[in-house]
Amino acid sequence: MAKKNVTKVVKLQIPAGKATPAPPVGTVLGPAGINLQEFCTKYNDATRDKMGDILPVEISIYEDRTFDFVIKTPPAAFLIKKYAKLKSGSAKGSKETVATLTNSQIKEIAEIKLPDLNCYSVEEAIKIVEGTAINMGVKIEG
């Protein structure tokens, strides 16, 4: 039997393997009427191998209160902070340098992000990631 119409699409950023029915997941998905424990179990099972990362998830909720979800790649800013071992980016943006990344690290991040970016090649993805890094106060060597 085919699914019914999508009634709502919800986008959240949840730590991998750590979804619980408590806020923020419960407060957003509770009013939609889906089974919170079922969502949390499925999400945690699907993201167990990426523990420690924050993953965006797009949840499609149908009329019959069933749901599907698509897990995206971690945000570029999260990956840049992870590779540069930072807690946060610069408060003054590109005017203040807080860390340095190599071209190879930027390329790794771009390859991870490529499926979710609006571009076709790794070279284009590298430019997008470099822009994010520079605006976070991260200098690129090379």
Per-residue pLDDT at 2 exceeds 60: no
What CATH number is attached to the domain comprising 33? 3.30.1550.10
Does the residue 1 lie in any domain?
no
pLDDT tens track for 129-142? 999 899 888 888 87
pLDDT tens track for 29-43? 888 888 888 988 999
Cβ neighbourhood burial of 75 (10 Å; 0-12, 13-18, 19+): middle
Report the percentage of the chain scoring pLDDT > 90. 18
Same domain, 38 and 11: yes
Nearby residues of 89 by Cβ (< 8 Å), 6 or more positions away: 77, 80, 81, 98, 135, 136, 137, 138
Same domain, 61 and 83: no
pTM of structure: 0.79
Separation of alpha carbons 4 and 123, rounded Å: 40
Question: Which residue, of 47, 71, 95, is where some domain finishes?
Answer: 71
Domain membership of residue 17 as a residue range: 6-71
Q: Give the total number of structural domains in the chain.
A: 2
Residue whose tokens read 């923020």: 24
pLDDT mean over 107-118? 90
pLDDT of residue 87: 86
Question: Which residue, of 55, 71, 87, is where some domain finishes?
Answer: 71
